[in-house]
């Protein structure tokens, strides 16, 4: 916490086209926090390079992610929006925290195991220490709360452990953060394999709905979505994972409860339901897409926001890093 106002931090990787899972599980909810917290929203491009990136694509997606932040309702005057690699304190604190993070802790991270299996030819040290950089991202801003999807909760718990370990040696250094998650939509599943999380890196394009998909594409993907045996529109994650996932998506985009959805589609088949989910999704994303195109057409405006956000974030980050350096005994001569 800086001053009296509590702090919220979150970040999104510019490593692929963002999905409705990213939108419903995280980005759409971000704007709510600016009314209650001092908010930092980061385009975490340094995290992205744990997997090999095409440089031109990474640059383009960095601009796109910032534009999507604003298109999804993040007001730059109420939120600090910036790019991770432009604030050098992230990498500096990450190295320090590496020295306070145990090897065993990192080896137990499920995302490391999953990504190591998917990228067996590139199991690099950065992939292993990714959670420590994430901890640095969070702790730099004396963060109180971290809005995350359920798959990142383990990393925030490790961040808490690192902060508490450091504070035991050097009292009063870091605020220990709490993860907060959306009640609905925090984990949107694949349209092709509804027992698996929707992923922007999925090779099956029909399994994923991207925020920037056009209306026809969105509706087509939902029409092809895998459902379950029978024809009843009923929420049951174990028995009917496909329909339950579609109900979650429809609920998130329409604001209707699961009970209301079950009544609305009582006696109607999967075809009607999948079309309704597709149309609701396309309707909700249309204004986001229009705003995104407007922001992307103004590259100078995006770069001005990057500079502004970097200045704001750096001021806070420098305060924390200077405090850490002093506690550790690093010589600081300005």
Is residue 187 a contact partner of residue 21, using CB atoms and an 8 Å limit? yes
Residue 197 appears among annotated catalytic residues: yes
Catalytic residue chosen out of the listed positions 78, 153, 187, 197:
197
DSSP assignment of 180-216, as one string? E--SSSSSPBPSS-TTSB--TT-S-GGG--BTT--HH
SS3 269: coil
Alpha carbon distances (Å) from 323 to 133, 316, 326: 18, 11, 5
In whole angstroms, give the CA distance from residue 318 to residue 164.
21
**H helices then E strands: how many in the chain?**
14, 5
In whole angstroms, give the CA distance from residue 174 to residue 214.
44
Residue 307 appears among annotated catalytic residues: no
SS3 76: coil
Residue 115 appears among annotated catalytic residues: yes
Edge-to-edge strand list for the sheet holding 38-43: 79-83, 38-43, 7-12, 145-147, 178-180
In whole angstroms, give the CA distance from residue 209 to residue 207.
7
Catalytic residue chosen out of the listed positions 6, 200, 223, 323:
200
Alpha carbon distances (Å) from 274 to 223, 231, 233, 269, 271: 6, 12, 10, 9, 5
Is residue 190 a contact partner of residue 202, using CB atoms and an 8 Å limit? yes
H or E stretch covering 36: none
By DSSP bridging, strand 145-147 and strand 38-43 are: unpaired
- Residue 204's closest CA among 185, 228, 225, 227? 225
Catalytic (active-site) positions: 115, 197, 200
């Amino acid at each position: 916490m800086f001053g009296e106002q509590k702090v919220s931090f979150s970040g999104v990787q510019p490593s692929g086209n963002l999905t409705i899972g990213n939108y419903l599980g995280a980005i759409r909810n971000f704007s709510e926090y600016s009314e209650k917290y001092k908010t930092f929203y980061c385009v975490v491009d340094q995290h992205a390079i744990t997997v090999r990136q095409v440089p031109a694509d990474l640059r383009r997606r960095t601009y796109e992610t910032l534009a999507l932040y604003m298109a999804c309702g993040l007001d730059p005057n109420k939120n600090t929006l910036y790019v991770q690699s432009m604030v050098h304190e992230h990498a500096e604190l990450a190295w320090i925290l590496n020295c306070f993070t145990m090897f065993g802790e990192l080896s137990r991270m499920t995302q490391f195991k999953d990504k190591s299996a998917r990228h067996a030819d590139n199991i690099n040290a950065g992939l292993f220490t990714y959670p420590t950089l994430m901890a640095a991202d969070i702790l730099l801003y004396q963060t109180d709360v971290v809005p995350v999807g359920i798959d990142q909760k383990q990393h925030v718990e490790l961040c808490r452990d690192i902060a508490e370990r450091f504070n035991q040696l050097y009292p009063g250094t870091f605020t220990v953060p709490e993860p907060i998650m959306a009640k609905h939509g925090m984990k949107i599943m694949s349209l092709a394999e509804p027992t698996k999380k929707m992923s922007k890196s999925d090779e099956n394009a029909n399994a994923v709905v991207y925020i920037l998909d056009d209306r026809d594409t969105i509706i087509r993907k939902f029409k092809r979505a895998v459902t379950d045996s029978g024809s009843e529109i009923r929420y049951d994650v174990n028995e009917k994972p496909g329909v339950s996932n579609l109900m979650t998506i429809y609920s998130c985009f329409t604001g209707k409860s699961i009970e209301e959805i079950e009544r609305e589609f009582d006696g109607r088949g999967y075809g009607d339901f999948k079309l309704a989910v597709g149309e609701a999704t396309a309707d909700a994303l249309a204004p986001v897409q229009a705003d995104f195109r407007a922001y992307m057409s103004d590259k100078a405006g995006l770069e001005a926001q990057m500079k502004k956000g970097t200045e704001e974030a750096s001021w806070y980050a420098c305060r924390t890093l200077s405090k850490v350096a002093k506690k550790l005994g690093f010589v600081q001569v300005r």
